[in-house]
Structure 1
Amino acid sequence: MDMVIALLPALFFGATGIITTLLGGKAVQGTLGMTYGAVIFGLGLMLIYVVPNAGWDYVLNPRIWVVGLFSGLFWAVGSAGQFTAMKQIGVTLAIPLSTAGQIVTNALMAALVLGEWNTGRMWLFGLISVALVCVGALCTSVQDKSEEQGVQQVPKSQFTAGLISVAISTLGFMLYFVFPNLLSKIGYISDDVHDAPNGTGVHYMTAVIAPQSIGMLAGALLIVLFVAKEPSLIVEKHTFLNMITGVVWAIGNVLIFISCANPNIGQAVATTFSQLNVIVAVLGGILILHEKRTRRQLWFIALGTLLIAAGAVLMGNLGVL
């Protein structure tokens, strides 16, 4: 069951791009609407689960609020960087680079800082699994030759700026994932608070979600006002429609945070599994959104899917190697 919970975020995260495309609107409206839905889900989770099961001590814990708010703001930094990179170098370059960067940084952060890889064999096979998932993610985004020529025409200065934006995005998303466990690792969150109940970490990770969603909303509003510079989008129809996207994303979000806190799964496995959303997004784009792909691209998509699946299976079995 632990592995099933760890795999489910990929389904929900992968579905968000498909849903927001079907709903329409600009990319920044998808991001902002997502935070609206995340806040609704976060507050609902607090009232329905956290209060009855963990109690008001978790809901009103100021340290949990600090962790959640900063985690949400880091997510907003990641989104702003990704949004900017897509404008600078295009979606087909920005998303695979961002995905690969998140896999590498989250896995290494979990291994080096959180100490989840504690044997030479785990390091060896962990790095192999990360490499497989990264190569697979890049394969799913291979462009046809005519499109590749268009990519090469991006000015060098613009391409460099795009890479900087991807790096900022990767750092933001990495901190968003790792921050709750990192603050526990350094003692800001006590073991008693972090591990309850029965060492699963469910109380802490579910209590973080509401303040995290508020931090996300604050960050998303700053993106709309100062990055996109389109304040009118805050109350437009497609922004509110994308609240559906936010609820779907939020379900995946709470599941991945529960998996990160679970000692049987951990940060490295949970975040790598979540990047299987590339498979869901690509296949959904072809089958549901009817995006056309050449025969060459379909072969690379098939190869990439196999590599990602192989890397995820290997990552999931590190503990028994």
Structure 2
Amino acid sequence: MNILIALLPAIGWGVMPLVTGKVGGRPVNQIFGIGAGTSIIGLIAFLITRPSVNLTAFCFALLCGALWTIGQIGQFISFKRIGVSNTFPLSTVFQLVGNSIIGVLIFGDWPGAKAKIIGVIALIIVIVGALCTSVSDQKGGKVSMKDALFLLCTTVGFWIYSSFPNIPIIKAQSGTSMFLPEMLGILLGAVIYGFFADRRSFTQREQYLNIIAGLVWGVAGLSYIYSAQANGNTSAFIWTQLSVVIATFGGILILHEIKSHREMMYTIAGIVLIVLGSIATSFA
């Protein structure tokens, strides 16, 4: 049962971009669907568990959820530009490297020389893996420097979201108590984005069909909380790295993103390196 719980986040987060790809719509439709779907799961979880919530922590969680949408919108736009199979590995690496650097510089992660050496080597492996997945037979490559920089800049939303559990007032709260405000924050960010990007999106069919993807993401997010409790933070994190495998090869097989034989070989090698490097960072 614990392994099943550990697999759910990886499956959900890996499948989500495939669902949005199949449902269609623009990033403004997709981010709203994620926000609405996750809020539904958050509300159901709250009604079942009835956790106590500190108002200040609630507001922090709401804000961080809203800022998370910056990273997810960047992903959705990149899915359209360079495809899921190119975006997801690169985004995973940007998140891992950024979160690791923030953890070391601000929160004191990787204490001691040995931990830092292991961590740096692991990040180098991850970066090499990302470079492998970006290999292209096309002149100029499928992933331009402009595309990569855009994805990197929007990943700041993911960095903030990943860092906020280290804030003392949040540490004192349970994961279930923070889940609903985080999800409501995602919905708030999505609504604000839709209001400024295209108000007509709220009348479009794809806006609400993408709630399916939000439900998938929400179940994955809730499962991660229970996986961390059942399996420990390190094991729970390791299992989530399978999401990059599901999303990348799902993009190729299900969304029919084309890769040559050479590109496919490099992609497979790159994914293996990203997963191994990600696992290694958890032992630093």
On whether the aligned pair clears a TM of 0.5, the verdict is: yes
Residue 44 of structure 2 is matched in structure 1 by 44
Q: CA RMSD of the aligned region, Å? A: 3.1
Task: Output one character per residue of 1:44-78: Cα deviation in whole Å (capped at 9) or x when no partner.
Answer: 110112x1xx4xxx24x202211210111111222
Q: What count of residue pairs does the alignment treat as equivalent?
A: 283
Identity %: 32
Secondary structure at the counterpart of residue 67 of structure 2: helix
Matches within 5 A, 1:156-305: 159=146, 165-179=150-164, 181-184=165-168, 188-189=169-170, 193-194=172-173, 204-226=174-196, 229-257=197-225, 264-265=232-233, 274-305=240-271
Q: Deviations over 1:267-303 (max 9, x none)?
A: xx86676454222111112232333321111111121
Distance 1:260 1:39, change over 3 A: same
Distance 1:172 1:232, change over 3 A: same
C-alpha distance 74-24 of structure 1, shift in aligned 2 (>3 A): same
* Equivalent-residue separation in structure 1 for 2:64 and 2:3 (angstroms): 24
- Distance in 1 separating the partners of 2:216 and 2:238: 19
CA distances 1:28-55 after superposition (whole Å, capped 9, x unpaired): 2111111110110010110112x1xx4x
Q: Secondary structure at the match of 1:145?
A: coil
The 1-side partners of 2:78 and 2:22 are apart by 23
Residues 284, 163 of structure 1: alpha-carbon distance in 2 compared, 3 angstrom cutoff: closer
Structure 1 stretch displaced more, 282-291 or 9-18: 282-291
In the alignment, what sits opposite 2:12? Answer: 12
Amino acid at match of 2:48: I
Inter-CA distance 218–47: structure 2 relative to 1 (3 Å threshold): same
State the Cα deviation string for residues 55-114 of structure 1 (Å, max 9, x = none). xxx24x202211210111111222344456677x75587655433221111122233333
| Contact kept? 2:126, 2:278, Cα under 8 Å | yes
Q: Secondary structure at the match of 1:289?
A: coil
Contact 2:241 2:275 in 1 (8 A): no
- What is the TM-score normalised by the length of structure 1? 0.75
**Partner SS, residue 118 of structure 1:** coil
Which deviates the most, 34-43 or 285-294?
Answer: 285-294
Amino acid at match of 1:215: G
Question: Which runs of 5 or more structure 2 residues have no equivalent in the other structure?
Answer: none
**Aligned letter for 2:57?**
I
The yes-or-no answer on 1:313 pairing with 2:279 is: yes
Distance 2:26 2:189 in 1: 17
How does the TM-score come out when normalised to structure 2?
0.84
- Supply the distance in 2 between the matched residues of 1:80 and 1:19 (Cα, whole angstroms): 15
Distance 1:104 1:260, change over 3 A: farther
Q: Please list every run of 5 or more consecutive structure 1 residues that lacks an aligned counterpart in the other structure.
A: 195-203
| Counterpart residue type for residue 211 of structure 2 | M
